[in-house]
Amino acid sequence: MHITVAKFGGSENVLTVDIASDLSLKDLKAVIEAESDFGIKADEMSLFYEGKLLQDDSQTLAQCKFNDYDLVTCQRSAPMNGLLPDATTMLRRNMNPRDPRQLFEMLRTNPEMLQQIRRNSPQLVDAIQRGDFNQFMENIAAQSPEMQQRMELDRLASLDPFDPEVQRRIHDIINMQNVQENMEHAVEHAPEVFGHVVMLYINCKVNGHVVKAFVDSGAQMTIMSKACAERCGIMRLVDRRFSGIAKGVGTQKILGRIHLAQLEIEKNYFATSLSVLEDQPMDMLLGLDMLRRHQCVLDLHKNVLRIGNVVETSFLPESELPIHARLSGNTPDIEDEDINRPADNHHESRLGQSATATSTSSPFPEDSIRHITKSGFTREQAIDELRLTNGDATKALVSLMAKSLSVPKRKR
Catalytic residues: 216
3-state class of 76 per DSSP? strand
**Cβ 257 vs Cβ 239: under 8 Å:** yes
Q: How far is CA 6 from the centre of its chain?
A: 37
Which of 273, 271, 265 shows the shortest CA–CA distance to 311? 265
State the distance between the two ends of the chain, measured CA to CA, in whole angstroms: 97
Sort 106 into a burial class: Cβ within 10 Å, 0-12 / 13-18 / 19+: middle
> 150 φ, ψ to 5°?
-65, -40
- The distance of Cα 165 from the centroid of its chain, to the nearest Å, equals 30
Instruction: Return the number of other C-beta atoms located less than 10 Å from residue 327's C-beta.
Output: 15
> Which of these, 329, 372, 334, 326, lies nearest to 212 by C-alpha position?
326
Q: For residue 278, give the 3-state DSSP assignment.
A: coil
Q: How do beta strands 284-286 and 209-215 pair?
A: parallel
- The SS3 call for residue 15 is strand
Contacts of 393-398 with C-beta under 8 Å, sequence gap 24+, read 393/330, 393/331, 393/367, 393/368, 393/369, 394/281, 394/324, 394/325, 394/330, 394/331, 395/199, 396/368, 396/372, 397/281, 397/371, 397/372, 398/199, 398/214, 398/216, 398/281, 398/282, 398/325
Q: Count other C-beta atoms under 10 Å from residue 181's C-beta.
A: 10
Which phi and psi angles does 259 have, rounded to 5°?
-70, -35
Residues 6+ away with beta carbon under 8 Å from 192:
none
Return the SS3 of 165: helix
